[in-house]
Amino acid sequence: MKKLYVNAKQQVTITCVHCGGSYTTTVPLHIRGNTPATAKCPCGEAMQVVFEFRQAYRKRTFLQGLLQRHVTDVVGQAAQIRNLSQSGLQLTTRWWRNLHTNDVLSITFILDNPQRSKIDKRIIVKYIDQKVIGATFCPEDQLSYQKEIGFYLMGQQVPRETVAHQTHSAEPVVYGYV
């Protein structure tokens, strides 16, 4: 089952697993996230998909970072960034018992891109589930490193063009629940 990300205009780009053609279509209003659906390509093949309704694409990562209380900590705590988006991240740390929702922290990590971009941002803790912490970037920090993170996220999203890549002019059909 293929996961597809729906944009703010309720549109999704579907790449056929059979012919390789790419299609952009509007997701019917009755379909909600994490519900299996069937998409039918103009080439005639059908595929099972799940739609993800997120504000920003989230990339799974295995990045090591350093987590600090914004004002009080001199020494940081180790953290592993599990996923990253333009608006926030999810991380794990052994230090989770000392944290609370709405805490402001600093996170420093290096992207595993060719440039090895160093990211240093302030985050707001949104949820804590044992060692797993979800956080958003502070509003005043939203624009810092936006370009670096954006290119990093797109690096895994942009499909390679191949000789076998086909584009059909007809719209795909998205059916309801499976």
**Residues with Cβ < 8 Å from 13, sequence gap 6 or more?**
4, 22, 23, 24
List Cβ<8 Å contacts ≥24 apart for 156-165: 156/59, 157/57, 157/59, 159/15, 159/22, 162/20, 164/20, 165/20, 165/21, 165/22
Q: pLDDT tens digits, residue range 155-169?
A: 743 233 333 333 444
Residue 134: per-residue pLDDT: 92
pTM score = 0.58
Q: Is the pLDDT score of 141 beyond 50?
A: yes
Q: Tell me the range of 52-61, 107-116, 141-150 where mean pLDDT is highest.
A: 107-116
Question: What tens digit of pLDDT does each residue of 7-38 get?
Answer: 767 788 888 888 888 888 888 777 766 678 88
Q: Bridge-partner residues for 105, per DSSP? A: 69, 123
Return left, alpha or beta for 116; rule: phi > 0 is left, psi -120 to 50 is alpha, else beta.
left
Can you name the CATH fold of 62-155?
Answer: Thrombin, subunit H (2.40.10)
Percentage of residues of the chain with pLDDT beyond 70? 77
What residues does each domain of the chain span? 2-56+161-177, 62-155
- Interatomic CA distance for residues 98 and 87, integer angstroms: 24
Q: Read off the pLDDT of each residue in 29-58 and give the average, rounded to a whole number.
A: 77
pLDDT tens across 88-97, in order? 999 999 877 7
Q: Averaged over 4-9, what is the pLDDT?
A: 74
Higher pLDDT, 8 or 174: 8
Strands (DSSP E) found in the chain? 2-6, 11-15, 22-26, 36-40, 46-53, 59-69, 77-84, 88-92, 104-110, 118-129, 132-137, 173-177
Measured distance CA(167)–CA(21) in Å, rounded: 5
